[in-house]
Structure 1
């Protein structure tokens, strides 16, 4: 992993798989700077090389969705972690957000509207997804009868996230907060799925992260509904496709996942991504942003 940038006025405190976190020691409100890098991760590993321009694409899409969910889509305003009116340093302009300090909850709030990925593998074996029973006869890529909430424990960097039950979420954050996480995640997914549908896209699944501010307000944080945290498919391809590959024309890092799964046994250091995989992934990230926002 590359060394974080030196940004005047900001002190680096943490680097995750994709994002670098800085604090402003002179700000009384404890505000932070979240910088999206061009790093790409899959199967809980940071891969090499990165995807050129990815940090800016992810940040632009997150900011667009934060705006939609703040009421621009006609729904109620969902509190988020952005600091209104704050200026982003020139060194990271376009790929960073100034955010308020939150107590981040150790839960990845996953919502699945379609059967795919690890959910499809589990369904074939047991008829369930994250332990939740589903109807018989579903195929890879099928729409679920209704979206399901399948939380995960957010593991430290380098460790694997772990699917957990709702009851385990209650043990982690308490019954009231666990119910808030579930209900808000399902609401945000439903709103985002409607928006995606209006742009000829399917939001197959996504994951959210939340934190609590000093006043106890639950806020949507980190990234939201980006190509890294979500699976987007082309709606026309899904409707007409006859094979899973044709149905699930993805606008995310599925290209990377598929290549890695075919060329790595998930032991040791992952192989370097070929140039064509990097270029195709970058193109998909840009196309998704264009289709959703018209940017």
Structure 2
């Protein structure tokens, strides 16, 4: 059993049901043993993905860092939106990288908030002065702060496929207008709180991806924050003191891995059919350092 290498371990009392890009999900073999009701065990591996591929390399301690950051953010956001955490009473083999969480009906929407102009939306912006179809002022540079944060949802794709940016109207068509409005409001409220907290610690939150689910309670469902929250895998963090629009920003997140894959050094064509190559040892180590630095600077805690 090699959890650190990213494999899904056998866990006593839990049945493995799903492996995603980074996380493995388990359900209890005996539901009556858990007072929290319908629950799922979420285990964060050390796998890393980029451009919708799971890479053959792993990042040591990544799963522990993602879990610790998510737990910290749940604390900071408790008055903004409820989280799906039930307990940390998890099997010893996955302690530190796993959470017992509420079973939710997840909305098929990636809820993205963008506070800065950067990343995959740049070609669209340069051509049309829009971001995911939303008009923004002309003349901005890569890395500029947007006049106001934008909600730019995407439709979830199957593993190995690309998420598809969709309009608010398309989102409403998939989940209903009332839910779409609540998802937009909650996403932007989470972004506002997180950006404020990060800025106080010398970090800019350029953008983030959130996932929400509906609780099974009767009546109007409660929207609950699920999955990972504001980690280097789901967010783009920049060092505030180095922020200079018009050039690539120093990133705490896995943009470092994306940049290497896109460089001639990797020898990989993301538009071709070949799978991504393994990361060099120095890229693995520097990526781990980025994750640790992001966690420690944001939380003020030292990684155990």
| Cα offset, 1:278, TM superposition | 0.7
Once residues 155 and 242 of structure 1 are traced to their aligned partners in structure 2, the CA distance between those partners, rounded to angstroms, is 31
Instruction: Quote the residue 1:82 is aligned against.
Output: 85
Alignment of 1:285 onto 2:303: no
Report 1:1-295 matches (<5 A): 3-28=7-32, 29-70=37-78, 76-83=79-86, 85-215=87-217, 216-238=221-243, 241=244, 244-245=247-248, 248-262=249-263, 263=266, 264-266=268-270, 267=272, 268-295=274-301
Determine if contact 2:213/2:223 at 8 Å carries over to the other structure.
yes
Deviations 1:73-101 (A, max 9, x none): xxx34111111x45111110000111011
Once residues 5 and 63 of structure 1 are traced to their aligned partners in structure 2, the CA distance between those partners, rounded to angstroms, is 22
User: Structure 2 length normalisation: TM-score?
Assistant: 0.91
Relative to structure 2, which stretch is displaced further, 18-27 or 85-94?
Answer: 85-94
Determine if contact 2:144/2:245 at 8 Å carries over to the other structure.
no
| Cα offset, 1:206, TM superposition | 0.2
Once residues 26 and 19 of structure 1 are traced to their aligned partners in structure 2, the CA distance between those partners, rounded to angstroms, is 22
Query: Is the partner of 1:48 in helix, strand or coil?
Result: strand
Once residues 188 and 88 of structure 2 are traced to their aligned partners in structure 1, the CA distance between those partners, rounded to angstroms, is 30
Gaps of 5+ in 1: 71-75
Size of the aligned set, in residue pairs, is 285
| Cα offset, 1:25, TM superposition | 2.7
Query: Is the partner of 1:155 in helix, strand or coil?
Result: coil
Once residues 35 and 117 of structure 1 are traced to their aligned partners in structure 2, the CA distance between those partners, rounded to angstroms, is 29
| Cα offset, 1:174, TM superposition | 0.3
Once residues 163 and 235 of structure 1 are traced to their aligned partners in structure 2, the CA distance between those partners, rounded to angstroms, is 28
| Cα offset, 1:227, TM superposition | 0.4
Once residues 4 and 196 of structure 1 are traced to their aligned partners in structure 2, the CA distance between those partners, rounded to angstroms, is 33
Classify 1:275/1:16 alpha carbon distance in 2 versus 1 (closer, same or farther; 3 Å): same
| Cα offset, 1:243, TM superposition | 5.1
Once residues 88 and 9 of structure 2 are traced to their aligned partners in structure 1, the CA distance between those partners, rounded to angstroms, is 20
Gaps of 5+ in 2: none
Classify 1:3/1:55 alpha carbon distance in 2 versus 1 (closer, same or farther; 3 Å): closer
| Cα offset, 1:232, TM superposition | 0.4
Determine if contact 2:108/2:156 at 8 Å carries over to the other structure.
yes
Runs of 4+ in 1 over 3 A off after TM superposition: none
Relative to structure 2, which stretch is displaced further, 248-257 or 264-273?
Answer: 264-273
Deviations 1:20-48 (A, max 9, x none): 00001312422110000000000000002
Once residues 257 and 90 of structure 2 are traced to their aligned partners in structure 1, the CA distance between those partners, rounded to angstroms, is 30
